[in-house]
Amino acid sequence: MGGVGNVRKILVVLYTALALGANPVLADAASLREGDMKKLVLHEAPVAVPEAVLLDAEDGEHALADYRGKWVVLNFWATWCAPCRKEMPSLDRLQTAMPDLAVVPVATGRNAVEGIRRFFEEAGVTALPILRDPQSQLARGMGVMGLPVTVILNPEGQEVARLIGDAEWDSESAKAVLAALASGS
């Protein structure tokens, strides 16, 4: 039985290496993953993202299509989420460090605007927009089951990678992975 399990593991590793090797950009990005970025799953092929209306602090409507043409770091979070509190400052620093990216935090579910403002103030977040998905329409449509979840979108608005859990998004590894992905577009 152990032999079959080992063969399966070898086949999975071989398949993954071949799949990533077929796409040099993915192979480059995969090779740069260290620390928290090891949790980043790179997709073999881009995945369509559902359309959804996001609300800003004044209830103005926004769509993900507004970000087409840019690489997007789409982060699903909530004010009550402790790992989100830890992660959000690194997303803010990432936006400052890589201004060609769009870092888009989406407060999912019931998050009062005042609570979001207080969260941003306490976390020192100054470079990110306040966007809300109050009915979790986008989160559900994208299969987000827990928080935080961060999805990388290519300039066509398709999902190319996903990380479940918190991460240091301004780490050298994260910036290198994002730069490698963007260089292939």
Structure confidence at residue 58 as a pLDDT band (50, 70, 90): very high
Summarize the chain as % helix, strand, coil (round to 5): 45, 20, 35
Sequence spans of domains, the chain: 25-183
pLDDT over 70 percentage in the chain = 86
Structure confidence at residue 20 as a pLDDT band (50, 70, 90): very low
Q: What is the mean pLDDT of the chain?
A: 89
The letter for the amino acid at 153 is L
The letter for the amino acid at 76 is F
Of residues 8 and 102, which shows the higher confidence score? 102
**105: Cβ–Cβ under 8 A, 6 or more apart, which residues?**
75, 77, 88, 91, 128, 129, 131
Instruction: State the residue for tokens 């620093």.
Output: 93
Burial class of 114 by CB neighbour count within 10 A (0 to 12, 13 to 18, 19+): exposed
**18: Cβ–Cβ under 8 A, 6 or more apart, which residues?**
none
Structure confidence at residue 29 as a pLDDT band (50, 70, 90): confident
Structure confidence at residue 144 as a pLDDT band (50, 70, 90): very high
- What would the CATH number be for the domain defined by 25-183? 3.40.30.10
Least confidently predicted of 11-25, 76-90, 142-156, 168-182: 11-25
- How much is the average pLDDT of 118-126? 97
Name the strand (E) or helix (H) holding 168.
none
- How much is the average pLDDT of 149-162? 98
Instruction: State the residue for tokens 């970000």.
Output: 67
Structure confidence at residue 185 as a pLDDT band (50, 70, 90): low
- What's residue 32's pLDDT? 87
- What's residue 19's pLDDT? 45
- How much is the average pLDDT of 108-124? 97
- What's residue 23's pLDDT? 65
How many alpha carbons lie under 13 Å from residue 170 in its C-beta half-sphere?
15
- What's residue 54's pLDDT? 97
Nearest to 163 by CA among 42, 81, 15: 42
